[in-house]
Structure 1
């Protein structure tokens, strides 16, 4: 958290709100208020949005007649543009230079409540006030200073537990009862099923958003060869974004030539709906902690997920646990790269436990 930005926004809002804003004192908030227009923030990565879908669904169920506007990121447009749990969507890149015109778009819907599930402090709070909200609930990842709490009804300190559950816990302030909420993630865009489900298709997500969470390409090559040798009919599909093209090049250069017909390289070649279609027909997906893992979980497709520096109790599978194999190692600094601690044999065994 950048304290200087926080203080600037705080001082600005102290001037702006009495003149132009509608923010009310937090002690006037009550779960009995019937909100007619709600702003929900989910402006970060694909996986973060997937974690937020149970909370969004719960808000819709609790306020069936409210107009719900989602503040999303442009990169998630294909996920959210036809999302049946929301009424409208505006796209914001978390940058202050683009805040005013997008906040004014949201203001047209006369939002009364902002529920910030995942965004960037403090500009998300500034956005909510400029958009005309009266109250703000915010899932936080940093301790919020006491002097800034006048803008937020809840919450001020990071929670523990899985990200999905943290979002659902936040909704208790709205009297949305946990026993009435399903924690299952959902896919929010249409895709076309593929007609090759009779094959053993194993997906490899080679990259992650952070190199420290990425299993080595050499390990993936070893695993592919081991899988094909055990079953020559196995198809390996490489998935990932265009940012990961270099990983597929290394993989294809290192795999034995006689196995090249068993490899389908999709990295950088699919739209989001196409990627979902390919994941949907996989027998199992092998991946680190990244967006496609959460797509597979939402699709109820088996996964083998690899964790060292990340914690699966926070960001791993949270539903249908019987179809997911999680490999978690405690970080050992003697390894040059943390993910080297996970060896090919244990991933191979986990795949066969699923198959």
Structure 2
């Protein structure tokens, strides 16, 4: 509670700063979204709404370094401010964050990452108008800081987080849709051509990893799934992941007969080059991860293995999506504002009980629907 006490002690200063900086016209806007790839993609409807409502304002985004390529090329974004979460540790770090925000002289700040450091930074900076979503469960510390934010909207259990964002913006008179958008690098087409991924929509993309290891399918299931995909579909299977997924991709590739039709694309694409790949796929298969939301941004037909996630809160919204969900008694245990990284039962039953046939049945429904 020390930061809450400090916030209240500084109240005369930041309240005066808010009053002195307030202008009738919104000229500078700051959006704060410091989570990972999927969350940033799901923040782009907010970016589009802010740009449409304030077409002449300067829009800046405070973000994690890993998500920079999603927004850096968007015409709706004027400035990207990459910041590492470890940079705001301690009193000094939070004060530097507040000074960074104050230096932008923003008229409006919209916070989509309701953490103690970011709330403190917004309040201490004296931004004239502050909006923030709040987590599903608000503890004493955030509840105390919430009183210092002009407009807040709390997420409701089982509600789509995009709906929470819509209600938040509505309080400022801003209408928001659900369409996502990201920057697209032209170099992605050349990477696809180099790997031999044709533009005839015959390839099936398979995400082989997740930032949260609790959701991963594992090499055994991945290998069996690739073998079945090669058996049932004539096109190639593309293993998609980052450079760190190279060993897993190589292991899967080594287990599968007919590996000449398997393309190891782990680490081959930059984030903003992946849209070129996604738009060449017949089908995408993955868990709840950034790659899944990237594929959904371009309405790629997909199969999503739900795992421990409550998909009522955040999920792909494309027109051709099938979900594979096994629901043991402990399901769900992973939420947008409370995501565990270790299985409490030690069994990972929600993933371990998923079979190849479950995924293939869903895949057949998607491909036949086309």
The answer to whether the superposition gives a TM-score over 0.5 is: yes
Give, in whole Å, the separation in 2 of the partners of 1:139 and 1:325: 29
TM-score, normalization by structure 1: 0.85
The corresponding residue for 1:138 is: 132
User: Deviations for 1:175-226, whole angstroms, at most 9, x for unmatched residues?
Assistant: 224xxx3211112343444561225101110111222211232222112111
Q: What aligned pairs does 1:102-121 form with structure 2 within 5 A after superposition? A: 103-117=98-112, 119=113, 121=115
RMSD: 2.6
The answer to whether the 8 A contact 1:144-1:156 is kept is no
The answer to whether the 8 A contact 1:303-1:325 is kept is yes
The answer to whether the 8 A contact 2:61-2:77 is kept is yes
Q: Show structure 2 runs of 5+ residues with no match.
A: 331-344
The corresponding residue for 1:68 is: 59
Specify the SS of the correspondent of 2:312. Answer: helix
Give, in whole Å, the separation in 1 of the partners of 2:289 and 2:133: 20
TM-score, normalization by structure 2: 0.82
Distance 1:51 1:22, change over 3 A: farther
Give, in whole Å, the separation in 2 of the partners of 1:199 and 1:68: 37
Give, in whole Å, the separation in 1 of the partners of 2:17 and 2:42: 28
Distance 1:237 1:139, change over 3 A: same
The corresponding residue for 2:72 is: 81
2:102 is aligned with 1:90: no
For these two proteins, the number of residue pairs brought into alignment is 335
Counterpart pick for 1:343 among 355, 362, 369: 355
User: Deviations for 1:265-289, whole angstroms, at most 9, x for unmatched residues?
Assistant: 1112321123232222111110000
Specify the SS of the correspondent of 2:276. Answer: helix
Counterpart pick for 2:148 among 128, 148, 151: 151
**How far has the Cα of 1:14 moved from its partner?**
2.5
Distance 1:99 1:270, change over 3 A: farther
**How far has the Cα of 1:130 moved from its partner?**
4.1
Distance 1:94 1:252, change over 3 A: same
The corresponding residue for 1:3 is: none
Give, in whole Å, the separation in 2 of the partners of 1:147 and 1:78: 35
2:212 is aligned with 1:213: no
Give, in whole Å, the separation in 1 of the partners of 2:4 and 2:247: 44
